[in-house]
Amino acid sequence: MVTTREQFTDEQWAEASALPALVIMAASLSDGKVMPSIRELKAGGEVLVAGAARYPDNVLLQHLKDGAEAAKAETKQGQEQAGPTSVDDVVATLLGQIEESVAVARGRLAAEELAQLREVLLEAATAVVARLGGGFMGSGEKVTESETSFVARLAALLA
C-alpha cells in the first residue's frame, strides 16, 4: 500500500512535511554554533534529494522536491514564535517539533514508508554533522560529541 497526500489532513501534512527541514536545521545547530554553514545545509539537502529519488513512491520524500521551501519557512516561523534563548534550547525545541512530526508520520505512513523516511532523515543528519572538521580549514575532529549525541537522540525519536 502506498500512502497518498489525501490520507493526511492539512494540519497533519504541514506537521509531517516539516520533518526534513526540522532535521536539517537541528543537525546543523547541534554543534552549538548559532549559524549553520552553507556546507551543512547543502550536505543535508543533497541527501534528502537523493533519498527522494531512491524512494519515488514515498509521499513525504517526494514532497521534498515540491515543497521543501514551504517546510523551511514553516520551521523558521515556529522557531521565531518559540523564542529559545540558546542554541541548545533551539535544538531541544526542534527535537520536540521533530517528535510531534514523527508521531503524525507514524500514524499515516505504511511501515515500509516510515522506515524509508527514517533512513533518509538519519543519512541527512549524519551528512550535516560530518560536513567538515572543527579545526582550521576543516581539519581535526569531524563530528563533535554534541553532534553524535544529537544523531543518537534523532535515531531514538525515529525508531
Span 28-70, pLDDT tens digits: 888 888 776 778 888 888 888 889 999 999 998 888 766 544 4
Q: What is the pLDDT of residue 116?
A: 95
Distance in angstroms (rounded) separating the CA atoms of residues 33 and 60: 29
Residue 132's alpha-carbon distances to 81, 86, 87, 106, 129, in angstroms, are 31, 23, 19, 32, 8
Look at residue 136 in the predicted model and tell me its pLDDT: 52
Specify the DSSP class assigned to residue 5.
G
- Report the sign of the C-alpha dihedral through residues 127, 94, 35, 13, in that order: positive
The pLDDT of 142-148, averaged and rounded, is 85
pLDDT at 76: 46
What is the domain partition of the chain in residue ranges? 5-158
Q: What is the amino acid identity at position 31?
A: D
**pTM higher than the cut 0.85:** no
The pLDDT value recorded for residue 6 is: 93
d(CA 29, CA 94): 10
72-122 pLDDT per residue, tens: 444 444 444 444 468 888 899 999 999 999 999 999 999 999 999 999 999
Contact predicate 33/25, CB 8 Å: no
Residue given cell 500514524 in the structure block: 107
Question: In the prediction, which pLDDT does 144 show?
Answer: 84
